[in-house]
Structure 1
Amino acid sequence: MLQSSAELRPTNTRPATRDVRLLPKTHLHLHFTGSMRPGTLLELADKYGVHLPDALSGGEPPQLRATDERGWFRFQRLYDIARSCLREPEDIQRLVREAAEEDVRDGSRWLEIQVDPTSYAPRLGGLIPALEVILDAVDKASRETGLGIRVLVAANRMKHPLDARTLARLAVRYADRGVIGFGLSNDERRGFARDFDRAFAIARDGGLLAAPHGGELAGPGSVRDCLDDLEASRIGHGVRAAEDSRLLERLAERGVTCEVCPSSNVALGVYDKPEDVPLRALFDSGVPMALGADDPLLFGSRLADQYELARAVHRFTDGELAELARQSVRGSAAPSPVRDVMLADIDAWLAADGAGPQNR
């Protein structure tokens, strides 16, 4: 059961500020290429002779605004250039290992990384070999770092729905190798969610969770479409649901977790300022959230930074941050024993004395 914001706020006037990097949490919204370290991109581009535009080689996150088609095209072009630097299995292994290391550093105990294997198939020997290379890299990185890692296979809504069905069948086939869900990404303003209903039915029938993108570039209607047409159990982003109080009630009643990525919402121009992201509205409405970094390569911040933003900009107390972490755990596909340990460790984080040097 979700706790009310009033119950989570401390009674004293000086809130504790525990280290959010020590707060156990899960990471449910991280795209594959977008998880790359900037330095790794520079090295791989040099290795393969790929010319990077200034936006990717300047050492700072690019200036993006994707609320119109031209801006979204620029964002996708930068992403595609970065992806073109992943050409060999060892590149895939390096990316996943480094993404896992970054997550561990940020206090993540469980990562569900999202990937469309068709994007990597041309250089990795085909669709099935590409997914197997990715899953092998995930298994190796998980063993080396101790981080639980699973894969969410995502279809591209800019492609034909038949392609999505092929991916859904492939995802189900590899459910015993670490695929736990099926998603739908790219510009949600294009096409209709219902065009992909058969693909999601295949995935759900195969035991995978449904986690399409919605409610980011498009309004609350796109969230409703994900619920009605795709029977989503999680929503990638979902922040625009805050514009519809009845939709918020529905998400809360059904316990549908929204994978909210505050930094990327601002970077892409969905909201002008960090304080405009409706974290508080969703939280106070009882909508479960899992904060995510989306594409750190392009947005410049990782998982713990999202919790810091919730604290610094939206005035979330440590109790509320702990509840956000619990919600991320409950919304994950982690096995029950793993969840139980994480939830107990979240309680231990909150029970610890938060009065560090920064409070004195």
Structure 2
Amino acid sequence: MRTLTGLPKAHLHLHFTGSMSIPTLVTLASGQGVELPSALVDSVALEVPADKRGWFRFQRFYDIARAVVKGEDALRTVVRAAAVEDSEEGSRRLEIQVDPTSYAASVGGLQPALEIICDEARVASAIAGVQVGVIVAASRIRHPFDARTLARLAARHAGQGPGDVCGFGLNNDEWEGDTAEWDGAFRIARRAGLPGVPHGGELRGPEHVRQVFRHLEPTRLGHGVRATEDRALLDELVAAGVSFEVCPASNVHLGVYPDLGAVPLRRLLDAGARVALGADDPLLFLSRLNDQYATARHVHGCTDAELAALARASIDASFAADHDKQAWRTEVDTWLADEPDAGT
């Protein structure tokens, strides 16, 4: 089999704090004299049921980790580490998702927080060899007016290159808030040329995917796997050209599906959906980008040609410049043309 590390790809669903490895988290915590709970650093993947109690436990651990990301050096460390990890897995483009509100207090405000992250994304792109774009994401647990502030901030940094804000998202607990109330923020982002990449269709089913589609007009859906429960809706999304950021490990560890084989990757592909595999939160799920491709290969039976198609789809769904996409697609073709080896 051809090595998955050698397969050029794009990584489009990775959260800022959740991107860290345990050693990176421990280093940041040690620098602040913070003692982390053993359950966060014991190298056992978090598993919770797909209900409010399960989400609360996930969010509690995420908040503990986020609390140690304070100050400019910590923000830069997270970006740099994410870029290096992705580069080592063969990623050519990383679009890391962040709500700068969570880090603003330690660096003097929203704008400095985003500027630091974008600046380090440019530096890391040059050093690590993977192009890093930034997705600004609002949170469902904050007021929709806060999202409009973030959308205006994101618009001032919009672009396709390294360190630019390339999209606008909405994350956190899918059950929180009225999705339609975030339409204003997404309109602001679209006017600035920023595509929408809201979460939808993981914890909640197709009825919520339909709300996200109608009100937020996504270019990509964060997750979206539950759309497979309504074939008419799935066909509508595919026809509209909406891409799916599918994170198999997340789906299992958040209790959406009982095991990796139950994740509806094949159903999405058979319906003609453009799928970009993502790791979501490696810190908590202990599963990085290539692990998702390994799942496609070993659990869902994807051939190397199908893995190459998934990699091309991730590149096509990215918000990189067209000339960069073409170069990376050519590299995927080269990977597939090479003779298989003993790698996995």
Short-chain TM bin: over 0.9
The letter for the 2-side match of 1:258 is F
Q: 1:173 to 1:316 in 2, by over 3 A?
A: same
CA distance in 1, matches of 2:105, 2:72: 13
Report the equivalent of 2:169. 183
Alpha-carbon contact 2:79-2:121 (below 8 Å) kept: yes
Normalising by structure 2, we get a TM-score of: 0.97
Partner of 1:233: 219
Name the CA distance, whole Å, in 2 between partners of 1:59 and 1:197: 39
Question: Which residue in 2 is equivalent to 1:53?
Answer: 37
Partner of 1:71: 54
Query: What amino acid is aligned across from residue 102 of structure 2 in structure 1?
Result: S
For 2:11 and 2:235, locate their aligned partners in 1 and report how far apart those are by CA, in whole Å.
Answer: 24
The within-5 A match list for 1:27-46 is 27-46=11-30
Q: Secondary structure in 1 aligned to 2:64?
A: helix
> 2: CA distance between counterparts of 1:234 and 1:119?
24
Q: Give the aligned partner of residue 2 of structure 2.
A: 18
Q: How does 1:298-313 map to 2 (within 5 A)?
A: 298-313=284-299
Deviations 1:14-55 (A, max 9, x none): xxx211111110000000000111011112112212221121
Q: What is the distance in 1 between the residues matched to 2:90 and 2:120?
A: 21
Name the stretch that deviates more: 259-268 or 40-49.
Answer: 40-49
Q: Partners of 2:96 and 2:73 in 1: how far apart?
A: 18
Where does residue 193 of structure 2 map in the other structure?
207
Identity of aligned residues (%): 54
CA displacement 1:212-236 (0-9 Å, x = unmatched): 0000000011211111101111100
State how far apart, in whole Å, the 2-side matches of 1:179 and 1:238 are.
23
Structure 1 residue 57, shift from structure 2 partner: 2.2
Distance across 2 between alignment mates of 1:154 and 1:66: 25
For the residue of structure 2 that corresponds to 1:23, the secondary structure is coil
| Structure 2 contact 49–254 (Cα < 8 Å) conserved | yes
Cα distance, 1:358 vs. partner? 6.5
Question: Which string of whole-angstrom CA distances, capped at 9 and with x for unpartnered residues, describes residues 303-354 of structure 1?
Answer: 0110000000000111111111111111110101100001111111111111
Q: What corresponds to 1:3 in structure 2?
A: none
Counterpart of 2:99 in structure 1: which amino acid? D
Counterpart pick for 2:208 among 207, 212, 222 = 222
Q: Partners in 1 of 2:226 and 2:147 — Cα distance? A: 25
Deviation at 1:191, TM superposition (A): 1.8
TM-score, scaled to structure 1: 0.93
Distance in 1 separating the partners of 2:73 and 2:105: 16
Q: Is the 8 A contact 2:2 2:343 kept in 1?
A: no
Are 1:278 and 2:264 counterparts? yes
- The residue aligned with 2:111 is 128
From 273, 290, 299, the counterpart of 2:276: 290
**What is residue 264 of structure 1 aligned with on the other side?**
250
Report the CA distance between 1:357 and its aligned residue.
Answer: 3.8
Deviation at 1:60, TM superposition (A): 2.5
Which SS does the other structure have where 1:334 is aligned? Answer: coil
Structure 1: 5+ residue runs without aligned partners? 1-16
Q: In the alignment, residue 201 of structure 1 is paired with which amino acid?
A: R
Task: Note the aligned Cα RMSD (angstroms).
Answer: 1.2
The equivalent of 1:145 in structure 2 is: 128
- Aligned: 1:103 with 2:89: no
CA distance in structure 2 between the partners assigned to 1:259 and 1:343 by the alignment? 19
Q: Which 5+ residue runs of structure 2 have no aligned equivalent?
A: none
TM-fit CA distance, 1:122 = 1.0
Native 8 Å contact 1:117 1:127 kept in 2:
yes
Query: Does 1:83 pair with 2:69?
Result: no
Q: Distance in 1 between matches of 2:297 and 2:21?
A: 25
Alpha-carbon spacing, 1:311–1:49, altered in 2? closer, same or farther (3 Å): same
Q: Which residue of 1 aligns with 2:139?
A: 156
How many residues align? The count is 341
Deviation at 1:66, TM superposition (A): 4.4
Does the alignment pair 1:116 with 2:102?
Answer: no
Q: Is the 8 A contact 2:48 2:55 kept in 1?
A: yes
Name the CA distance, whole Å, in 2 between partners of 1:59 and 1:210. Answer: 34
Aligned mates of 2:37, 2:229 — CA distance in 1: 37
In the alignment, which residue of structure 1 is the partner of 2:336?
A: 350
Q: Deviation string for 1:203-259 (max 9, x for gaps)? A: 001100100000000001121111110111110000001101111111221121100
CA contact (8 A) 1:182 1:211 kept: yes
After superposition, give the CA deviation of every residue in 1:94-142 in whole Å (9 maximum; x if it has no partner): 1111111110111100000000000001111111111111111111111
1:135-176 deviation line (CA, Å, top 9, x unaligned):
111111111112111100000011111000000011001115
Q: Look up the equivalent residue of 1:158 and give its one-letter code.
A: I
What residue identity is the alignment partner of 1:247?
Answer: L
Secondary structure in structure 1 of the residue aligned to 2:244 = strand
Question: Secondary structure of the equivalent of 1:290?
Answer: strand
Given that 2:3 and 2:343 are in contact with CA atoms closer than 8 Å, whether structure 1 keeps it comes out as no
**Structure label with greater radius of gyration:** 1
Runs of 4+ in 1 over 3 A off after TM superposition: none
Distance 1:233 1:26 in 2: 16
